[in-house]
Amino acid sequence: MRCSKCCVIKGLLSTLSTSCPLKFIGSDNDAEDGVVGNLNKFVVVPPGYTEQPKKGHLIFDASFESGNLGRVDFITDYEYDLFIRPDTCNPRFRVWFNFTVENVRPDQRVIFNIVNFSKTKSLYREGMAPLVKSTSRPRWQRIPPKNVYYYRCPDHRKNYVMSFAFCFDKEADSYQFCYCHPYTYTRLQNYLDGIVKRKLSFIKRELLCLSVQQKRLDMLTITNPDNIDDQVKKRVIFITARVHPGESPASFVCQGLIDFLISPHPVAKVLRDHIIFKIVPMLNPDGVYLGNYRCSLMGFDLNRHWHEPSPWAHPTLHACKQLLLDMDGDQNVDLDFYVDIHAHSTLMNCFMFGNVYEDPVRYERQAVFPKLMCTNADDFSMGNTSFNKDALKAGTGRRYLGGLLEETTMCYTLEVSFYCYQPNSSSTIIPYDEDSYMKLGRNLGKTFLDYYKMTSLIMPKPTAGPQLHHMQRSSKGRHGKHHRVRSQSELFVHSPNYEVTVHENQSHSAQSSMPFHGRKQHLRDVRR
């Protein structure tokens, strides 16, 4: 019985107009069985039709990199049920979709019902819509939210269905639909190849290992070459992204950060002069290539295996963890940050997750960076930012490394919405696009410098102004070093002047200004 669904369909069709070249509508659902591989140029014809396909008999395809569509059922001439292919070797996860449609008639109206989502909560309830582009219009567009429906459907085990309507307008075009802006393994490789060709002295590309599917696990090291000297005290920030392959916004944020760090921007230059950035932009290349949402080729959610990664089952995780442990054990390295970049399917804006610690000083220290991030990024939400020790997150990079690495290392998850953000002090809803995701990456880079200035690990030039001179002199009295740090944070958090130098005897002053740096050797001895 389809009465409830028919009401939705009639509503969708009533919103379509043949005078508008791109029209869309949608709805959402969970779970069906028997979907294994991606469709390959699959022609959908009415039951009993035996002749050659004709115009209007849609051809679906997902047999391309990061593609995902496992099955299509013909319902009527204008309605199709679509089934997401579950993650490889793991039927639990069905969220990411990415497929093409061709052989259309001009002004052909259709309704696509994606019926087997594994999640019930979704930003589709908040106005999120699928993306579409076509051969003649290669820039991704969001389907108008008014044309997208998300509802519980009695025809599919009472699971939620996302239905959207679309009017094809150009018969020669191939149309592509996607859950979110795709960022493929090949796109990353081409991007990294382009960086290498520029022969920049301050960036190095390394192969950490090969994945199970023999894909590259790349790492970029971005810093002034002088910082690589074995005799120089090193400050390191370690960044990872795409451990969950369907969270493609993480790749755009990561690329935005990389683009900023290798740019001639004065903030980027200061950061390169004093900090070593280690960036692993795609931690799960197999899952990305296959079009999975959460898992690797072998069906593992890698972000639940940091505690004991296998060199053969989780080689990329194993290589990354070993590198982090090596740096953590190096007496000449201060690993200041570990940040893992993700995308979130149910919340808006960008925000951070941190850890809960018994030591109140350490707990308060880790709250500083998100607050600085909020001053730099208009899309950052302190309301969604939280610090927790949820048992379900015990195997994640942020939780596990937060308990394993030195107490001086701050571990965060940076989350960004698949859909939109609401700027601070505004009620406007702004959908994310590739550019705004990359802007978030740039703002992340700028926040690192704000943090180092605030904690006096990078000091301003004496010529910054008389106010600075007064602040430095007055802070050397009875209030001690911690008063000096707080005063400088008030002076610099909002300062546009990023022309700074390293404090004399940086390694000594840095350790004294951070609560735990002076105890690093003692902590290592205790752990041994």
How far is Cα 450 from Cα 447, in angstroms, rounded to an integer? 5
Interaxial angle between packed helices 368-376 and 434-454, expressed in degrees from 0 to 180 and rounded to the nearest 10: 130
Nearest C-alpha neighbor of 414 from the set 242, 181, 293, 230: 242
Q: Which residue has the tokens 């921007």?
A: 265
Beta bridge partners of 414: 341, 352
Nearest to 150 by CA among 129, 133, 131: 129
Q: Per the structure block, which two tokens stand in for 385?
A: 């930012």
Would strands 386-388 and 350-355 be described as parallel, antiparallel, or unpaired? parallel
The type of residue at 330 is: D
- CA dist 174 and 60 (Å) reads 10
> Which residue in the block uniquely carries the two structure tokens 């600075």?
468
DSSP symbol at 106: T
Bridging pattern class, strands 26-27 and 160-168: antiparallel
Give the separation between CA 372 and CA 374, rounded to whole angstroms. Answer: 5
Q: By the 8 A CB rule, do 278 and 219 touch?
A: yes
**What are the two backbone dihedrals, phi and then psi, of residue 248, each rounded to the nearest 5 degrees?**
-60, -30
Q: What is the bridge-based pairing of β-strands 410-417 and 333-344?
A: parallel
Backbone angles phi, psi at 45, to 5 degrees: -125, 160
Q: Which strands, in side-by-side order, build the sheet including 216-222?
A: 203-210, 216-222, 276-280, 234-241, 333-344, 410-417, 350-355, 386-388
Residues in the chain, overall count: 528
Within 8 A by CB and 6+ apart from 143, the residues are 24, 25, 26, 129, 130, 131, 132, 164, 166
Neighbours of 26 (CB within 10 A): 27
What is the DSSP-derived secondary structure letter of residue 197?
Answer: H
- Distance from C-alpha of 378 to C-alpha of 15, rounded to nearest angstrom: 34
CB 73 within 8 A of CB 114: no
**415 among known catalytic residues:** yes
Q: Pick the catalytic residue: 102, 247, 406, 415? A: 415
Q: Which residues are catalytic?
A: 415
